């Protein structure tokens, strides 16, 4: 099969997308953010319900949210819990091994050994600064929506990340924010009927940071031709 120019561009953008964990302070133009989110909204959704809602955070409000979550994250008596289970309650193979591998691959790059609990805690806390990205995104969904709408939401999130990558921007989708949905709701004045789905960092990757050299593996054995 002859590869067309369009196929090559799409394939390259998908393959180039990675979760970036260190960003430059270089600002992102509001027009670019607006266009990314407009294009992403072309994602399919059952009966065109479009269940996604996004809050774009920059400047003071982003800093305020980061400060408040970090205060809770660093509190030894932290009791904040996720509102929904992103991960399985019981881990099984091969998912547990994959999770452990990506974690230790990242910590190894950063020089964090298993005994360095404080260092790992601090690195996890960088989620809540949006890894220093100039733009933070918080995604919510109406509580009445069911599992199908969450599938739709995943396609929307992927569109956001690909539209950003096509414009020379990078992202990191972050389920870590779900633990602090109560803080997010209060700080952003979210309506009671909205549930936090995840956060996302958006900006320009810092090429000097070792953590951005991490490339995760993909297992293609799940492909079955029948």
Q: What is the pLDDT of residue 215?
A: 95
Q: What is the mean pLDDT of residues 86-95?
A: 96
C-alpha span between 205 and 26 (Å, rounded):
9
Percentages of the chain per state (helix, strand, coil), in multiples of 5: 50, 15, 35
Q: What CATH number does residue 196 fall under?
A: 3.40.109.10
Q: Angle, to 10 degrees, between the axis of helix 30-40 and the axis of helix 147-165?
A: 140
* Contact call for residues 155 and 40 (beta carbons, < 8 A): no
Predicted local confidence at residue 207, as pLDDT: 97
pLDDT for res 4: 94
Asked, for residue 85, whether it belongs to a domain, the answer is no
Alpha-carbon distance of 167 to 36, in angstroms, equals 9
47: containing domain: 16-78+128-212
- pLDDT for 24: 98
> What average pLDDT does this structure show over 21-46?
98
pLDDT at 2 over 90: no
Confidence of residue 1 (pLDDT cuts 50, 70, 90): confident
d(CA 199, CA 205): 17
Cβ–Cβ < 8 Å for 194, 53: yes
**Mean per-residue pLDDT of the chain:** 97
Count of the separate structural domains present in the chain: 1
Whether 115 maps to a domain, the answer reads no
d(Cα 48, Cα 73) in Å, to the nearest integer? Answer: 38
Tokens, residue 162: 């690909």
Q: How many residues does the chain have?
A: 226
Residue 163 has pLDDT above 80, yes or no: yes
User: Is residue 168 predicted with pLDDT exceeding 80?
Assistant: yes
Is the pLDDT assigned to residue 18 strictly greater than 90? yes
- 201 within domain boundaries: yes
3-state secondary structure at position 142: strand
pLDDT tens per residue, range 48-66: 999 999 999 999 999 999 9
- Could you tell me if residue 83 is inside a domain? no
Is the CB of residue 20 less than 8 Å from the CB of residue 205?
Answer: yes
Whether the Cβ atoms of residue 203 and residue 133 lie closer than 8 Å to each other? yes
Percentage above 70 pLDDT, the chain: 100
pLDDT 10s digits, 210-222: 999 999 999 999 9
pLDDT at site 3 = 86
Tell me whether residue 64 is in a domain.
yes
pTM of this structure: 0.96
Q: Does 226 score more than 80 pLDDT? A: yes
Share of the chain above pLDDT 90, in %: 98
pLDDT digits (tens, 9 = 90+) for 119-138: 999 999 999 999 999 999 99
Classify 88 as helix, strand or coil. coil
């Amino acid at each position: 099969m002859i590869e067309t120019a369009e196929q090559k561009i799409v394939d390259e953008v998908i393959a180039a997308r990675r979760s970036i964990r260190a960003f430059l302070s270089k600002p992102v133009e509001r027009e670019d953010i607006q266009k990314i989110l407009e294009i992403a909204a072309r994602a399919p959704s059952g009966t065109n319900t479009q269940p996604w809602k996004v809050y774009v955070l920059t400047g003071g409000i982003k800093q305020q949210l980061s400060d408040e979550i970090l205060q809770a994250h660093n509190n030894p008596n932290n009791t904040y819990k996720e509102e929904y289970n992103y991960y399985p309650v019981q881990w099984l193979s091969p998912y547990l091994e994959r999770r452990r591998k990506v974690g230790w691959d990242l910590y190894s790059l950063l020089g964090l050994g298993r005994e360095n609990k404080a260092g790992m805690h601090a690195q996890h806390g960088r989620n809540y600064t949006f890894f220093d990205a100039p733009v933070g995104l918080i995604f919510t969904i109406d509580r009445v929506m069911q599992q199908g709408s969450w599938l739709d939401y995943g396609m929307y999130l992927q569109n956001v990340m690909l539209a950003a990558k096509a414009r020379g921007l990078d992202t990191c989708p972050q389920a870590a924010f779900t633990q602090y949905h109560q803080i997010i709701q209060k700080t952003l004045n979210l309506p009671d009927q909205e549930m936090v789905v995840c956060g996302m960092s958006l900006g320009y990757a810092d090429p000097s940071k070792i953590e951005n050299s991490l490339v995760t593996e993909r297992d293609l054995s799940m492909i079955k031709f029948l």
